[in-house]
Amino acid sequence: MKFIQRLSSLKLVAVTLFVSAIVGFGVTYGLSAGASNFVNGNESCNGTCIALKGEGAHPTTIAVPVGSFVQFNSADGKSHSLSLGGGGEEHSHTGDFSSGTFGADEAWRVQFKDEGTFKFHDHLNPKINVLIIVYTPGKDYKVE
């Protein structure tokens, strides 16, 4: 059983590396987000949840299949404002995919409809950076 779990982990790492190599750690410009909206942060998450905290996001990197929803929850009692692109000193924006500001009792939910890598940063907390890798299940990714 442990062998199968390790094999699954290795496949996820290979997919992550492959998608990152193709698209780079930048962001796909033909943004693939389908639906995005604000939801009550106290409700349960339907999809993958990312907790936004003062010291950073948890998790910071995730891989989800095409069509998945990702929900960004304020987990520190503060407001957040997410955008695509790199944060920090080399602050950049790509595309027009932005949450706007959402409060401590809210969350932002997004559906990803195309594969690629999506790097988000928080305008209100420079420690929060998230990389989302969207892949097609069953697709044969090869790392070269």
Q: Which tens digit of pLDDT belongs to each residue from 13-38? A: 444 444 443 333 333 333 444 445 76
User: Nearest Cα to 112, choosing from 61, 71, 57?
Assistant: 71
Q: Percent of the chain scored above 70 by pLDDT?
A: 61
Q: Which tens digit of pLDDT belongs to each residue from 95-114? A: 557 888 999 888 999 899 99
Q: Which tens digit of pLDDT belongs to each residue from 62-82? A: 999 999 999 999 999 999 999
CB atoms within 10 A of CB 42: 9
Whether pLDDT at 87 is above 70: no
Whether pLDDT at 135 is above 90: yes
Domains of the chain, each with CATH number or no CATH: 2-135 (2.60.40.420)
Quote the radius of gyration of the chain (alpha carbons, Å). 15
Instruction: Let me know the angle formed at the C-alpha of 75 by 70 and 76, rounded to the nearest 5 degrees.
Output: 145
φ/ψ of 87, rounded to 5, equals -100, -160
